[in-house]
Amino acid sequence: MSLFGKEKMAEAELINSNNHIAKGTSITGDIETHGSIRIDGSVKGNIQSKAKVVLGSSGKVEGNIYSVSAEIEGEVTGKIMIKDTLLLRATSNIGGDINTNKLIIEAGAKFNGNCKMGEKINFDVEGLDGKKEAAPKKAKASVE
């Protein structure tokens, strides 16, 4: 197998990885991942994913979310930029601007901010695009 083929396989494995921040866990700092992430705890910082972000009903994010797709049930205070589809569940509470290609909002969802959609969303996830080197971020985890 060529080196190029091994690199593609390694990238596919990273994108297919799953991360989970459990209820009762609190993280201060930015999170960057190639794979999907589910948040049931709280994050004070930006979240960047090359796959999908899922925020559970007990989840809370104080920061910006950058991802290919997202499903929000919890609370977000910050900007949400999604390249493909953003789904706001009935229990979601968004305080900030949304920029997405497609938006689905269930009855009962709360959204206070501006929305721009239907255009191609351009942003690079810093440190995950293979071109930029992200500075290490300090993250602090605690269980409440």
Residue 18: predicted pLDDT: 87
Give the integer Cα–Cα distance in Å for 71 and 36. 11
Residue 27 is assigned to a structural domain of this protein: yes
Residue 140: predicted pLDDT: 45
Residue 118: predicted pLDDT: 81
Interval 17-45: pLDDT, tens:
789 999 999 999 999 999 999 999 999 99
Across the chain, which distance is largest between two alpha carbons, in Å? 52
Interval 85-130: pLDDT, tens:
999 999 999 999 999 999 999 999 999 999 998 877 666 655 444 4
Residue type, 26: S
Residue 116: predicted pLDDT: 93
Lowest mean pLDDT among 66-70, 125-129, 134-138, 140-144: 134-138
The SS3 of residue 35 is: coil
Domain that holds residue 79: 3-121+139-143
Number of domains in the chain: 1
Residue 30 is assigned to a structural domain of this protein: yes
The SS3 of residue 3 is: helix
Q: Tokens 């009903």 correspond to what residue?
A: 57
Q: Is the pLDDT of residue 16 over 80?
A: no
CB contact at 8 A, 21 and 41: yes
Residue 132 is assigned to a structural domain of this protein: no
Residue 130 is assigned to a structural domain of this protein: no
What is the arrangement of strands in the sheet containing 75-77, beginning at the earlier edge strand?
110-112, 93-95, 75-77, 60-62, 42-44, 25-28, 140-143
Residue 113 is assigned to a structural domain of this protein: yes
Residue 110 is assigned to a structural domain of this protein: yes
